[in-house]
Amino acid sequence: MTDATANLAGDTAAPAYDSTAKQKAQAKTSRIPIKVIPIEKLKKPEWIRVRTATGNSRFNEIKQILREHKLHTVCEEASCPNIGECFGKGTATFMIMGDKCTRRCPFCDVGHGRPDPLDPDEPMNLARTIGALKLKYVVITSVDRDDLRDGGAAHFVECIRNVREHSRETRIEILTPDFRGRLDRAINILTAAPPDVMNHNLETVPRLYKEARPGSDYHHSLKLLRDFKALHPEVATKSGLMVGLGETEEEILQVIRDLRTHDVDMLTIGQYLQPSEHHLPVRAYVHPDTFKMYEEEAYKMGFTHAAVGAMVRSSYHADVQAHEAGVV
């Protein structure tokens, strides 16, 4: 299959490759090993509803503060459908280490490209922003940085330290990449300043990894969660899944079992929504009854908290999730 075949818009050729530019949509997904094959677009059911920002929300204020401090959010970069609601309430998930990821996951709308050097001022800028917003709970995530010897673990530590120095009451959740090829080093570095919640998303079932998470490994991600928990049993661990990519119910249940056997405490499951026509297609809209079944099974298995529903995302209402799990 040629790159143009994967273009749902027709026979337009893929843009010329520029490794220094941030590649989005077709420019990003046209170079993955398993090409995106278009299918007939499914109609969204009535239970898929996105809340928008209200007139008196903090949406514009949040965006202005982020720009002033030269910060990125995964809310914006990944085109999260909940951005209006979250920004409107004064919450955001901060994305550190730039806005260009070294991976090309075709479900994700974060741009791919050769990353810029780390900004040494970012930890302080992050801490000042969190202080300005008076946030009591924050989620810090990042792009994959396969170009760094530690995968960016030391930068996570600096961000955690700066936030705690300036906002002592703020609880911190980190949503990390998989630190491929440098796992032991990264985990040892993170022990210098462990977060309140350690989150790493499995995203999908192992059968779909080559298609959905090229460059990642299911068992490696499980090991990350287990090894961190072994070093820090007092820190809650968390992981998230998408549904609607072609997985079966039994496959999802098996992933939930795997997470519990690797001592993961908290779980999120949400409906995958296609960011653009050049990303992986939605193969099914999961019914609310099925989400309810996953939630019930998760609690039976011993998770301290399970946020399961169509519009649930890993960081969506993360403060509420942590509170209900007994973290804050």
**267 neighbors 305 (Cβ within 8 angstroms):** yes
80 carries a ligand binding annotation: yes
**DSSP alpha helices (H): ranges in the chain?**
25-29, 59-68, 74-77, 83-88, 122-133, 153-166, 183-190, 209-212, 218-231, 249-261, 288-301, 318-324
Token readout for 282 is 């939605």
Helix 59-68 vs helix 122-133: angle between axes, to the nearest 10 degrees? 150
101 carries a ligand binding annotation: yes
Can you tell me the distance from the alpha carbon of 103 to that of 309, in angstroms, rounded to the nearest whole number? 27
CA distances from residue 180 to 80, 110, 177, 203 in whole angstroms, order as listed? 25, 18, 8, 16
Can you tell me the distance from the alpha carbon of 317 to that of 315, in angstroms, rounded to the nearest whole number? 6
Token readout for 294 is 């996953």
159 carries a ligand binding annotation: no
Can you tell me the distance from the alpha carbon of 154 to that of 81, in angstroms, rounded to the nearest whole number? 31
Residue list, annotated binding site:
75, 80, 86, 101, 105, 108, 315
Residue list, annotated binding site for [4Fe-4S] cluster:
75, 80, 86, 101, 105, 108, 315
